[in-house]
Each structure stands twice: as structure tokens, then as C-alpha cells.
């Protein structure tokens, strides 16, 4: 398997970062980081810098950058998919949408402590973020997000 591209999203692009995490791409996003540091971090960690700031790209010259031009997060996602030539991941929702940590299977205790009763109809594996202690499970919210993705990236989902 080839190594997956990684990303660093600038302060304006929180929702884009979330969508990239849905697709399992390692995507850092920290609005407190200032421009020069952002570029250094992207270069040091070999990440694509995702930014809406044309001047930043021109003046600070990150080695890999995607200049985002659209306003809608899903259209922004399409820009990244096209420019970085991303392939569709085999599975979705394997990374914490909030903190970017890879999820692991939840233990029985974690499920007992955190699963709301409405989620018990879904027998699939529950995943857990060891960093921020969130529990994730497939349900109507993931189905809705998957449908939204399919509309944004029809080439990926039609086959
Ligand atoms: Zn987390």
C-alpha cells in the first residue's frame, strides 16, 4: 500500500478538515497556529498545506500546498481530491473527526459508559478515540454523511 497523503488545514478550513478525517486522511487543524509556523509544520511533517490565503502561498512558499478557492466545504473537498489525486478509501470513519486520532475498537466498558440507548440497534463495531474519549458508532448520522459525500464525489461512489 502506498503511503497516504497527509494534510494541514489552515484556520479557515475546519469543516474541510473534518471531511478529510471522514475519509481517514490524517489532517491537522489548529486555528491557533500562525502562518509562518503553519508552513514550517507542513514542510517538516510532509503535509499538504490547505489554505485560502493566496499571499501565504506566494510569500512563504510551502513545498506542497493546495490553494482552496471555493466556499462550500464539500466543494473544497473536491478541490483537494482533484489536486492531490486522492483515491477513495476502502472504509470511512476510522479517524476521530474532532482530534484526528486513529480510532480503535471500543472495549465493553467504554461502550457501556458512553453509548446512548438509541444507538443499540446498530450491531456494528463501536470505535473509540483514545485521545478525547469519544465513542463512534455507525448510524443515521454516518449514513447521512456518506450520502452527502456520494453527492460531492460521484465518481467515487457510482462504481
Ligand atoms: Zn478524538
The secondary structure element, H or E, covering residue 54 is helix 54-60
> Which residues, listed in sequence order, are joined to residue 136 by a DSSP beta bridge?
127
Say how many Å lie between the CA of residue 158 and the centre of ligand 1.
Answer: 31
Spatial contact of 98 and 129, defined as CB atoms under 8 Å apart = yes
Q: What is the mean pLDDT of residues 21-39?
A: 95
Distance CA 67, CA 51 (A): 5
Where would I find the beta strands (DSSP E) of 10-152? Answer: 27-29, 48-51, 65-67, 104-105, 127-128, 135-136
Q: Say how many Å lie between the CA of residue 141 and the centre of ligand 1.
A: 17
* Residue 89 in this model has a pLDDT that exceeds 70: yes
Rounded to whole angstroms, the Cα distance separating 65 from 135 reads: 33
Q: For the chain, how far is it from start to end, CA to CA, in angstroms? A: 21
Q: How confident is the model at residue 15, as a pLDDT?
A: 98
Gap between the Cα atoms of 74 and 123, Å rounded: 29
What pLDDT is recorded for position 137?
87
Are residues 83 and 66 in contact, defined by beta-carbon separation less than 8 angstroms? yes
Q: Cα(102) to centroid of ligand 1, in Å? A: 8
Q: What is the pTM of this model?
A: 0.92
Distance from residue 58's CA to the centre of ligand 1 (Å):
33
pLDDT tens by residue, 105-141? 999 889 888 877 777 666 667 899 999 999 998 888 8
Asked if the model's pLDDT at residue 2 lies above 70, the reply is no
pLDDT digits (tens, 9 = 90+) for 59-75: 999 999 999 999 999 99
pLDDT at 120: 67
103 C-alpha to center of ligand 1: Å? 8
3-state secondary structure of 119: helix
Sign of the CA dihedral running 57, 63, 68, 73: negative
- Does pLDDT of 159 surpass 60? no
Q: How far is the CA of 132 from the centre of ligand 1 (A)?
A: 4
* Interval between CA 60 and ligand 1 midpoint (Å): 31
Query: 36: CA distance to ligand 1 center in Å?
Result: 26
Amino acid at each position: 500500500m502506498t503511503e497516504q497523503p497527509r494534510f494541514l488545514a489552515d484556520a479557515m478550513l475546519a469543516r474541510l478538515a473534518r471531511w478529510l478525517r471522514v475519509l481517514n486522511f490524517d489532517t491537522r487543524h489548529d486555528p491557533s497556529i500562525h502562518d509562518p509556523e503553519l508552513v514550517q509544520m507542513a514542510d517538516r511533517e510532509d503535509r499538504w498545506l490547505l489554505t485560502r490565503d493566496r499571499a501565504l502561498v506566494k510569500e512563504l512558499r510551502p513545498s506542497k500546498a493546495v490553494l482552496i478557492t471555493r466556499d462550500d466545504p464539500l466543494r473544497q473537498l473536491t478541490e483537494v481530491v482533484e489536486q492531490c489525486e486522492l483515491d477513495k478509501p476502502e472504509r470511512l470513519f476510522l479517524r476521530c473527526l474532532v482530534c484526528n486520532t486513529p480510532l480503535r475498537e471500543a472495549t465493553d466498558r467504554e461502550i457501556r459508559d458512553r453509548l446512548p440507548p438509541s444507538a443499540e440497534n446498530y450491531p456494528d463495531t463501536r470505535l473509540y478515540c483514545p485521545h478525547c474519549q469519544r465513542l463512534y458508532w455507525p448510524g443515521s448520522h454516518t449514513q447521512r454523511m456518506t450520502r452527502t459525500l456520494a453527492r460531492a464525489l460521484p465518481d467515487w461512489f457510482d462504481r
